């Protein structure tokens, strides 16, 4: 019999993904999540929504400089949303990590006064 958490209900749309992102951005997102009393992956997903709405083709996208402090992290995302992000990264000729970081920067800027 498989373990079933009594705290968090199982959501079949969510998958655990390992990806590499800027550690400094991740720490800022985690601190903001704590202030807002939200899970940090919910903030990252809000950043994914921003990226998907903003960057639809490669002429809209300017490749940012790659951070030097990228480290691997594991978190859960909506499978559909993450797959869409991966496809968008291919279309923009960039990486999923880069798009995640752009979304994280947007969320931090949006909430800088909080």
Instruction: Kindly report, residue by residue over 68-109, the tens digit of the pLDDT.
Output: 999 998 888 888 999 999 999 999 999 999 999 999 999 999
* pTM for this entry: 0.86
How do residues 26-68 score in pLDDT, each as one tens digit?
999 999 999 999 999 999 999 999 999 999 988 888 999 999 9
Classify each residue of 22-58 as buried b or exposed e, where b means 16 or more C-beta atoms within 10 Å of its C-beta.
beebbebbeebbeeeeeebbebbbbbbebbbeebeee
- Using the predicted structure, report yes or no on whether residue 5 has a pLDDT greater than 60: no
Give me the residues paired with residue 14 across strands: 78
């Amino acid at each position: 019999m498989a373990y079933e958490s009594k705290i968090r209900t199982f959501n079949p749309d969510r998958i655990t993904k390992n990806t590499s992102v800027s550690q400094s951005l991740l720490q800022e997102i985690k601190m903001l999540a704590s202030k807002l009393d939200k899970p940090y992956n919910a903030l990252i997903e809000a950043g994914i929504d921003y990226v998907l709405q903003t960057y639809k083709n490669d002429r809209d996208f300017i490749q940012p400089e790659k951070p030097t402090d990228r480290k691997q992290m594991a978190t859960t995302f909506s499978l559909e949303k993450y797959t869409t992000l991966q496809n968008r990264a291919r279309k923009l000729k960039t990486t999923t990590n880069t798009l995640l970081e752009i979304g994280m920067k947007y969320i931090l800027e949006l909430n800088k006064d909080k």
